[in-house]
């Protein structure tokens, strides 16, 4: 018997129409019989299928799409190994709180638990790394289930993040009764905005406007609140630190930006406001060992960002933008007690350090191996990139260098999950989502290897991305840790492989760059011929700030050596 036709009223057709009604334009996936009915119906609805070379990359791409658009990202993966391959992507989205819908297939129900092809109980695997993980056994419930999953992914009523709904393929082919195709299911929900309560807002204003050394730190939950954030910083006269989750919200020209004084400002602030930001390892878990006696004001639209690690003197459960608006309104023209000279002093030092760094990058000395310093590559990229470029950074040492110096109006990196292979998939998706912007991936060679095959996806879909590989022939940050902590280098060196040859094999424009003086021309040619790759030889001897800080050896109490020592002293009552 030949395979049945996929009917207009089938679960597959209705899910495709549902996704279309939600504004989904692209789905990232890797084919397989268990998902083919849905795949074909998505195509029939005009939803573009970006077919990738590993399911993990499909989820990374859906994640990047979600981060860049603020809307749902969708990945379609087949049963069994399709799902297990996707799991790193799902876990990454889980920690990053990215709204991603993962749609896999399952063997038909009559073959369940009989040793069917690709038969694994997926939901048990993904439950702990998703907001919702269900198998749908009845066609009539398909729309309801997927609608619930999408709402949860978008954080409507909880923390946003990945969700998972799978369907045995016989259910995907089955028809949904006309009655259960309720039109309400196809109406996209408006984004839910949570308003802050007046009592908390007044308490926050009292605390913040009385602070002498106020500091504001933003994260995921501050997205969309750029205007309000800038206004609050100006009105309060606060210092500001961004984090990878929310780069670009406050322009570098704003007098509150003191990024190069991160450590100092964290120690000196007396009131710290977190806007949609977890106090995770990047912020020393908010520990008094690092933040001293500072009081916290926590603003967030979900529990994870509201009170993790430190309670706030004031905690405001609200959409970030709404809370900031309410603070500004409640404060009226009240004068801030902030010590203007404190912020001005930090800002002056920040500018001095940043200027010095940018200036010195161009002349950064090569290693004893004669290979150029990674900062030479980054300086050349800085010069060539438009201000609104989308930057994707990944790597060990190279991420540490790139994070600090590349312009970051829009910026993606492995974030707190530290998932270093995301570069190329994030970049491919970004270049499809933002075709009018220049998208570059700045990646270490080790990190690049994980998903290097996605160059093929870039070529097939003509995704106009430029991948720049900092080729130091090693997992350099780990090499240094071995040298300094263990006195022996083992299993951390790679080859100086020719990644440009590999890229050309997939049909990309690519060059290998060995000398600093060739960078400018190579970048210009690559930019004009995207998708493109530059394989730039750099010295593994360059020591990044992450290497110096002790991040690589993973101290017991805190992520960085200095914070770890401070934490030990504080805990022992010294």
Ligand X SMILES: Cc1ncc(C[n+]2csc(CCOP(=O)(O)OP(=O)(O)O)c2C)c(N)n1
Residues designated as active site: 478
Strand order in the sheet with 26-29: 48-51, 26-29, 73-77, 100-106, 163-168, 132-135
The contact mask relative to ligand X for 434-463 (x = CB under 6 A, - = no) is ----------xxxx----------------
Taking CB under 6 A as the criterion, the residue among 478, 511, 564, 567 binding ligand X is 478
Residues 6 or more apart whose Cβ sits within 8 Å of residue 348: none
Decide if residue 395 touches ligand X (CB under 6 A): yes
Q: Does 418 bind ligand X (CB under 6 A)?
A: yes
User: Which residue lies nearer to Mg ion by CB, 148 or 498?
Assistant: 498
Pair 558, 284: CB distance under 8 Å: yes
Collapsing DSSP to helix, strand or coil, 387 comes out as: coil
Q: How far is the CB of 478 from ligand X (least distance, A)?
A: 5
Piece of 163-171, 225-233, 239-247, 475-483 that binds ligand X (CB under 6 A): 475-483
- Smallest gap from Cβ 74 to ligand X, in A, equals 23
> How many residues in the shown chain lie near ligand X by CB under 6 A?
19
- Judged by CB under 5 A, which stretch of 225-233, 295-303, 472-480, 560-568 contacts Mg ion? 472-480
Biggest CA-to-CA distance, the chain: 81
133, 101 Cβ separation under 8 angstroms:
no
Residue 418 interacts with which of Mg ion, ligand X, none, CB < 5 to 8 Å by class = ligand X
- What 3-state class would DSSP assign to 247? coil
Region binding Mg ion by CB under 5 A among candidate stretches 186-194, 234-242, 368-376, 469-477: 469-477
474 DSSP assignment = B
Does position 419 bind ligand X by CB under 6 A? yes
Total residues in contact with Mg ion, by rule CB under 5 A: 5
| Residues 471/497, Cβ–Cβ less than 8 Å | yes
Return the structure tokens found at 164: 């998972």
∠ CA(229), CA(384), CA(401), 5° rounding? Answer: 65
**What's the closest the beta carbon of residue 262 comes to ligand X, in angstroms?**
20
- Rounded to a whole number of angstroms, the minimum distance from the CB of residue 374 to Mg ion is 9
Among ligand X, Mg ion, none, the one that 419 touches (CB under a kind-dependent 5 to 8 A) is: ligand X
Q: Does 444 bind Mg ion (CB under 5 A)?
A: yes
| Interface stretch with ligand X, choices 96-104, 129-137, 358-366, 466-474 (CB under 6 A) | 466-474
Residue nearest to ligand X (CB): 444
CB of 397 to ligand X, least distance (A): 3
Q: Which is nearer to ligand X, 24 or 470 (CB)?
A: 470
Please select the residue that binds ligand X; options are 150, 476, 513, 533, rule is CB under 6 A: 476
Figure out which of the listed residues 474, 482, 539, 558 binds ligand X, where binding follows CB under 6 A.
474
Sequence-distant (≥ 6) Cβ neighbours of residue 316 within 8 angstroms: 196, 197, 200, 201, 204, 297, 298, 299, 300, 323
Reading phi first (left if > 0) and then psi (alpha if -120 to 50, else beta), residue 208 is in alpha
Q: Applying CB under 6 A, does 398 fall inside the site for ligand X?
A: yes
Shortest distance (Å) from residue 444 CB to Mg ion: 4
The distance of closest approach from Cβ of residue 435 to ligand X in the complex, given in angstroms and rounded to an integer, is 27
What is the Cα–Cα distance from 411 to 448, expressed in whole angstroms? 17
Q: Which residue in 27, 104, 96, 21 sits closest to 62, CA to CA?
A: 27
User: Residues 89, 56: contact at Cβ < 8 Å?
Assistant: yes
* Gap between the Cα atoms of 502 and 513, Å rounded: 14
| Phi and psi, residue 122, nearest 5° | -65, -40
Q: How far is CA 497 from CA 50, 343, 374, 465, 479, in A?
A: 28, 47, 17, 21, 17
- Judged by CB under 5 A, the residue of 445, 478, 511, 564 near Mg ion is 445
Interface residue list for ligand X (CB under 6 A)? 395-398, 418-421, 444-447, 470, 472, 474-478
Interface residue list for Mg ion (CB under 5 A)? 444-446, 472, 476
């Amino acid at each position: 018997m030949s395979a049945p036709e996929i009917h207009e009223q089938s679960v597959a057709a209705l899910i495709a129409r549902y996704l279309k009604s939600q504004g989904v334009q692209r789905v990232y996936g890797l084919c397989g019989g268990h998902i083919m009915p849905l795949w074909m119906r998505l195509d029939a609805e005009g939803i573009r299928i970006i077919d990738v070379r590993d399911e993990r990359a499909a989820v990374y791409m859906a994640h990047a799409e979600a981060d860049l658009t603020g809307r749902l990202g969708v990945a379609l993966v087949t049963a069994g190994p399709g799902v297990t391959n996707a799991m790193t992507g799902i876990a990454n989205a889980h920690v990053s709180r990215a709204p991603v819908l993962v749609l896999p297939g399952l063997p038909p129900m009559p073959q369940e638990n009989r040793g069917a092809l690709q038969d694994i109980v997926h939901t048990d695997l993904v439950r702990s790394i998703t907001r919702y993980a269900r198998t749908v056994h009845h066609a009539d419930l398909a729309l309801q289930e997927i609608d619930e999953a999408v709402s949860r992914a978008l954080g409507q009523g909880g923390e946003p993040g990945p969700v998972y709904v799978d369907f045995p393929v016989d259910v995907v082919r089955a028809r949904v009764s006309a009655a259960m195709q309720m039109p309400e299911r196809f109406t996209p929900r408006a984004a839910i905005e949570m308003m802050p309560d007046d009592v908390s807002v007044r308490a926050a204003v009292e605390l913040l406007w009385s602070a002498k050394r106020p500091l504001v730190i933003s994260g995921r939950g501050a997205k969309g609140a750029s205007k309000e954030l800038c206004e609050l910083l100006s009105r309060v006269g606060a210092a500001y630190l961004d984090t990878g989750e929310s780069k670009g919200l406050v322009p570098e020209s704003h007098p509150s930006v003191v990024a190069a004084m991160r450590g100092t400002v964290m120690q000196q602030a007396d009131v710290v406001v977190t806007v949609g930001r977890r106090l995770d390892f990047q912020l020393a878990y908010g520990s008094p060992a690092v933040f001293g006696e500072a009081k916290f004001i926590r603003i967030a639209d979900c529990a994870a960002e509201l009170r993790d690690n430190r309670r706030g003197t004031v905690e405001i459960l609200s959409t970030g933008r709404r809370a900031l608006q309410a603070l500004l309104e409640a404060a009226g023209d009240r004068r801030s007690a902030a010590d203007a000279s404190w912020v001005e002093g930090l800002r002056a030092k920040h500018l001095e350090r940043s200027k010095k760094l940018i200036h010195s990058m161009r002349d950064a000395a090569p290693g004893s191996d004669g290979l150029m310093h990674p900062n030479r590559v980054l300086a050349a990229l800085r010069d060539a990139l438009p201000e609104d470029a989308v930057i994707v950074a990944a790597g060990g040492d190279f991420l540490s260098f790139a994070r600090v110096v590349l312009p970051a109006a829009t910026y993606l990196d492995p974030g707190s999950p530290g998932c270093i292979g995301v570069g190329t998939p994030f970049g491919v998706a970004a270049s499809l989502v933002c075709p009018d912007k220049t998208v570059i991936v700045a990646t270490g060679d080790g990190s690049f290897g994980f998903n290097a095959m996605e160059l093929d996806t870039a070529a097939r879909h003509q995704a106009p991305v430029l991948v720049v590989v900092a080729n130091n022939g090693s997992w350099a940050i780990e090499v240094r840790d071995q040298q300094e902590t263990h006195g022996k280098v083992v299993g951390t060196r790679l080859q100086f492989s020719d990644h440009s040859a590999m890229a050309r094999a997939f049909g990309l424009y690519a060059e290998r760059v060995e000398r600093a003086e060739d960078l400018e021309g190579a970048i210009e040619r690559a930019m004009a011929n995207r998708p493109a790759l530059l394989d730039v030889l750099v010295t593994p001897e360059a020591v990044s700030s992450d290497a110096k800080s002790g991040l690589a050896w993973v101290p017991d109490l805190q992520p960085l050596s200095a914070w770890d020592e401070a934490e030990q002293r504080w805990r022992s009552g010294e």
